[in-house]
């Protein structure tokens, strides 16, 4: 495409410019492409910021979760995206993820396996490695603490049972919910998943603690040991 075929955004109608559109109509009026173009700030001589944003999103089928999994280095592979723009995209997506986590954490009370999924999916759903977390609850099923217990590779992670139970005593918890992710997307619990659940259950009983559930999280779905009668 020649330079003459590209109309700079500053020459567009005011309603069509992403920044001006946001100011005039609010952030909700912008499409994903326009929001990304606003983050990019500029394109190149041969491509507007909107065109660049559209090209980037098209490679991930306009899926923001998939975009969030791209590294800074992968973002820089797009023609027209330097380090500064790649860092800005990564930072904006991480900020959005943390906002969602904060909003979900405000509810604090665990009422079902679905509420566990909605709380932890933003944390674990798009990871390429396994992480094992424990959520600690009081007798009203409100969260008193949650922590990452371990972090591993693509196919597994090592769990220290003593480290899992210590915070329960420190925070006066009475119930535990185990959570880990399957980067493969598979929801079938492995024998190792079942084994560590049984071990933590037995150890917890000695301290008058209950393991209420073990939830396996993927990007779009989850499996609950409690719901499936596996506890």
Per-residue pLDDT of the chain (231 residues; tens, 9 = 90+): 444 455 555 555 444 578 888 888 888 889 999 999 999 998 888 888 999 999 999 999 999 989 999 999 999 999 999 999 999 999 999 998 888 766 655 557 899 999 999 999 999 998 999 999 999 999 989 998 999 999 885 455 678 899 999 999 999 999 999 999 999 999 999 999 999 999 999 999 999 999 999 999 999 999 999 999 999
Instruction: Give the pLDDT confidence score for residue 182 in this predicted structure.
Output: 95
pTM recorded for the entire structure:
0.58
What are the Cα distances from residue 106, in Å, to 53, 64, 100, 143? 33, 24, 10, 10
List the one residue out of 58, 38, 49, 35 whose CA is nearest residue 6.
49
Instruction: Give the pLDDT confidence score for residue 3 in this predicted structure.
Output: 47
Fill in the DSSP letter of residue 126: T
Tokens of 191: 């024998």
Of 3.40.140.10, 3.40.630.10, 3.20.20.220, 2.60.40.650, which CATH number belongs to 107-224? 3.40.140.10
Q: Provide CB contacts within 8 A for 11, sequence distance 6+.
A: none
Q: Is the sign of the CA dihedral 189, 194, 200, 201 positive or negative?
A: positive
Kindly list the domain boundaries of the chain, sorted by start residue. Answer: 3-102, 107-224
Find the distance separating the first CA and the last CA of the chain, reported in whole Å: 61
């Amino acid at each position: 495409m020649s330079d003459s075929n590209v109309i700079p955004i500053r020459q567009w109608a005011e309603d069509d410019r992403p920044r001006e559109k946001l100011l005039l109509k609010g952030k909700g009026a912008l499409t994903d492409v326009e929001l990304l173009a606003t983050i990019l700030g500029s394109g190149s001589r041969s491509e507007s910021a909107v065109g660049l944003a559209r090209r980037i999103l098209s490679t991930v089928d306009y899926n923001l979760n998939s975009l969030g999994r791209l590294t800074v280095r992968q973002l820089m592979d797009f023609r027209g995206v330097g380090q500064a723009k790649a860092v800005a995209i990564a930072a904006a997506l991480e900020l959005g993820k943390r906002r969602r986590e904060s909003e979900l954490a405000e509810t604090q009370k665990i009422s079902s396996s679905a509420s566990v999924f909605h709380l932890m999916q933003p944390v674990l759903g798009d990871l390429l490695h396994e992480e094992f977390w424990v959520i600690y609850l009081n007798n009203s099923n409100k969260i008193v603490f949650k922590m990452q217990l371990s972090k591993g590779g693509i196919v597994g992670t090592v769990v220290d049972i003593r480290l899992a139970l210590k915070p329960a005593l420190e925070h006066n918890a009475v119930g535990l919910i185990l959570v880990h992710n399957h980067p493969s997307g598979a929801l079938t619990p492995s024998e190792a998943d079942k084994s560590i659940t049984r071990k933590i259950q037995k150890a917890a009983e000695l301290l008058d603690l209950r393991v209420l559930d073990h939830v396996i999280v993927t990007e779009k779905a989850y499996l609950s040991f409690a719901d499936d009668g596996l506890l």
